[in-house]
Structure 1
């Protein structure tokens, strides 16, 4: 680390000098201009075209400073550790307390780990009388209710603790044509990406594990993963397509690709961090991109990934990426 600090010192000093010069010049211009602009004489020899040019340059500079601010706040390719997994990861969820929930390609269970990779618990995905079911994605509410989707069995299941002393059991909540990605929005409603139907379903679960207030958002093409979004909405990725943003009332707000002219390859896992930044895994391009609330996208991970699919945020600026090419979950540090 000291070597890296010494290497970057000339660039840091150059940047600080540039910022100080900009601040000093803008403060001087403001001190000179303020009393003159308040005088009845008006703008003096300052012409309209000159003023237009100044305004445009100021706007461009503000955009560039915002971009620089984002780049300073984030880190790239800072791998902290890898957690080995028994095969490919299908679903990835990280709770606020740092508990990691995983589902796998060939293992019908939900594996619960800490962020050091130590196993805490395992929930076999099996129904009494019908046997095991294949689990696709997993999500967990703030109260600890675990939900999984099953593409093969066309259903969403919840894990019900019968009592503190019992192991609990799975309960079927709803049946859909092709449920894949799961999420929970800011209001605690569950989100289900219905792949073949091109739908996203939203609902709550009552005390008797019945779905309440089921609503459906149509018009998508191969929705793959879904997550809570900024301002109470949600965000959903389309296979080999785009990433769409929806508002709290389920209205379409646009897409990241078209809004920012960002070319996606195959967007997969999506999540939103505590600051409202949207983070997307691009499986084809083997990268992870952060889309801030304002400003251009930032590549958080651009090397070292083989086949990334899922993504989740953890505390202290950590990012979890399921890399099925390496059969592991990779933890990165993405915030300074």
Structure 2
């Protein structure tokens, strides 16, 4: 451990020296070149080809320095805590106030916990006349409305509080062929990944759960999870396939694999952090990767996962990963 810390310290000192040398040389060159360039005599012995080469190299260096600045903000494999779960997790959502919402493979309820793992509340998943049901996924709207999807009932439900004394009830919002992943985009529209039909549905909810502006985006192959994306759009993970990107008007923007030539195994859970970075859990490769809006992918979790299926971001640079191989939610620190 001491050797690793000493090596890290030496690397940091070496990098700082290189950065200081680059800064000093740049300032010196600027001070010398500025008055000469202001003279009308031309460029001296500088040739056009040399200037073109210099401009190209400088552009490449600026890009690399931008990547360096980006990478310095992240950490890898820093596990903070494990939160045990009663079986496999199906749906995972972290609200703006850092409340953790979970649905499970065999337990018909939504559990609400804090990030220390303390149970805050339980919402039983039960319908009058049909009994308990297992929820596929869970999300929370900006107004605090809890939504779940059910494959068995082919529907999306919202939880309605009746009174302080009652437990509340689930209200059917819409019926779909095979609703799996749920999300809410930056405009407040509800997103539903319809697995078998290869669709993502988008709609707004008005008063009394009135559905408005229902739109369906076709052409997907096994959409599994859906989340808000950069620039007011949304992103979708396809089972054993790819991660697809869409704009604010539902226009297709390509995929992460085609943009970056990145080989996915089985992309599962997906989310977007406050900086617009897309984060993907790969169930087959057992890793979590961050895809910035500019620059190469960053592997945030490369070890210690058994069967990761879901991911969400919390405040203070924390990352929540549902690991069904260990029956727990693992909390990592991924930002400095």
TM-score (norm 1): 0.96
Do 1:134 and 1:153's aligned partners in 2 also have CA atoms closer than 8 Å?
no
Provide closer, same or farther for how the CA distance between residues 121 and 3 of structure 1 changes in structure 2, counting only shifts above 3 A. Answer: farther
Q: Distance in 2 between matches of 1:206 and 1:166?
A: 24
Which residue is equivalent to 1:90?
Answer: 90
What is the match of residue 156 of structure 1?
156
Equivalent residue, structure 2, for 1:10: 10
1:329 aligns with: 329
**Residue matched to 2:179:** 179
Q: Distance in 2 between matches of 1:244 and 1:46?
A: 48
**Deviation by residue 1:37-69 (Cα, 9 ceiling, x = unmatched):** 333233332222212221221122122112211
- Aligned pairs (5 A) from 1:150-299: 150-299=150-299
CA distance in 1, matches of 2:47, 2:260: 34
**How far off its partner does 1:3 sit?**
7.5
Q: What SS is found at the alignment partner of 2:207?
A: coil
| Shift, 1:247, TM fit | 1.1
Partner Cα distance (1:97, 1:4) in 2: 36
Between the aligned partners of 2:134 and 2:203, the Cα distance in structure 1 is 22
Aligned partners of 1:42, 1:137: CA distance in 2, in Å? 67
Write the distance in 1 (CA, Å) between the matches of 2:133 and 2:41. Answer: 80
Deviation at 1:35, TM superposition (A): 2.5
Structure 1 residue 71, shift from structure 2 partner: 1.8
Q: Which residue of 2 aligns with 1:59?
A: 59
Residues 164 and 42 (structure 1), Cα distance of their counterparts in 2 relative to 1, 3 Å cut:
farther
Counterpart-to-counterpart distance in 2, 1:301 and 1:78: 8
Asked if 1:302 is matched to 2:309, the reply is no
Distance in 2 between the 1:166 and 1:132 partners? 17
String of CA shifts for 1:238-293, please: whole Å, max 9, x gaps. 11111111111111122111111211111111111111111111111111011112
Retained in 2: the 8 A contact 1:268–1:309?
yes
Q: CA RMSD in A?
A: 1.4
Could you tell me which residue of structure 2 aligns to residue 46 of structure 1?
46
Output the CA distance in 2 between the equivalents of 1:227 and 1:41: 59
Shift of 1:209: 1.5
**Structure 1 residue 134: Cα displacement:** 2.1
Once the two structures are TM-superposed, the CA of residue 297 in structure 1 deviates from its matched residue by 0.9
Spell out structure 1 runs of 4+ moving beyond 3 A: 1-7
The one-character-per-residue Cα deviations of 1:199-220 (angstroms, maximum 9, x if unpaired) are 1100111221121110111111
Q: TM-score, normalised by structure 2?
A: 0.96
Structure-1 separation of matches of 2:87 and 2:108: 12
- Unaligned 5+ segments in structure 1 are none
- Counterparts of 1:142 and 1:257, CA distance in 2: 31
Number of matched residues?
336
